[in-house]
Amino acid sequence: MKLRVDLLPDSHYPDVALVIDVLRATTTAVALLERGAGGLLLTRTAEDALGVRAVRPEVLLAGERGGLTIPGFDLGNSPVEVGEAAVAGRQVVMTTTNGTGAAWRAAQSARHVVLAALINAHAVARHALAVASEEIAIVCAGTDGRVGLDDVYAAGVIAEYLLALGDFQVDDGARIALTMRRGGGDPGEALRGSGHGATLEKLGLGADVDFAAQLSTSRLIPTLVPGDDVPVGALRFLAG
């Protein structure tokens, strides 16, 4: 079995892709489903999200640009905010600066696409090992097209756990992520020390960073589920 870590999204994933945007899209996605959201519809653009609402006015819109809530949306991209929102039973349309685009790229080729974060790291690792046939790719979303320390650290956590579960041929990306994990301190230290973590702190969103730094507090696995009933311009993820 092959294990690779892409420090930025690629376009070819033959088997399993675990998409990470730990600060904050994939963490928020897990939180939304934990709070009972009936499903997530990920779009690449805010316009696509608004297009979904035009045909399904009952949905909630969640999204950010530059870390801040998109004007006119119901929610931003805050896992802490989710804890105070009434999302149970509601479909949530989500679009973010980096994470939802990374999920879209992975979905173009991968047989299985899962949203991964530190809070569900062990659960997604076990799931990936159960469904993979040839390769597990951990896909880091990055920040504005640049490698993000926060995502690489989280990828290292998942890679480390996978290596404890089975034998893998690892690529250099995985070696980099594992080195970051082993030398990066605890999750809180690593995320706060990242460039994106520092930006969120300046925006007054430090509580989101602390939330995202929790390790394996959730067993929830947001999994891509295609279907003819999915709106144009959206990917549907359900709790697994």
Token duo for residue 83:
């804890």
Contact 12, 135 (CB under 8 A): no
Q: Would you tell me how many other CB atoms lie within 10 Å of the CB of residue 32?
A: 27
Domain ranges of the chain: 2-239
DSSP 70: P
2-239 homologous superfamily: ComB-like (3.90.1560.10)
Mean pLDDT, consecutive 10-residue stretches, the chain (240 aa), reads 97 96 98 96 97 96 95 96 87 97 97 98 98 98 96 98 96 98 95 96 97 98 94 95
Cross-strand bridge partners of residue 5: 138
Q: Provide CB contacts within 8 A for 150, sequence distance 6+.
A: 22, 23, 190, 191, 194, 196, 197, 212
H/E segment holding residue 167: none
Report pLDDT for 61.
Answer: 97
Would you state the structure tokens that stand for residue 199, as one six-digit string?
A: 């930006």
pLDDT of residue 19: 98
Largest CA distance in the chain: 48
Beta carbons of 166 and 125 less than 8 angstroms apart: no
Residue 9 tokens, joined: 């999204």
pLDDT value, residue 86: 85
Mention every residue, 6+ apart, whose C-beta is less than 8 A from residue 229: none
Sequence-separated (6 or more) residues with CB below 8 Å from residue 172 = none
Residue 191 backbone class (left: φ over 0; alpha: ψ -120 to 50; beta: rest):
alpha
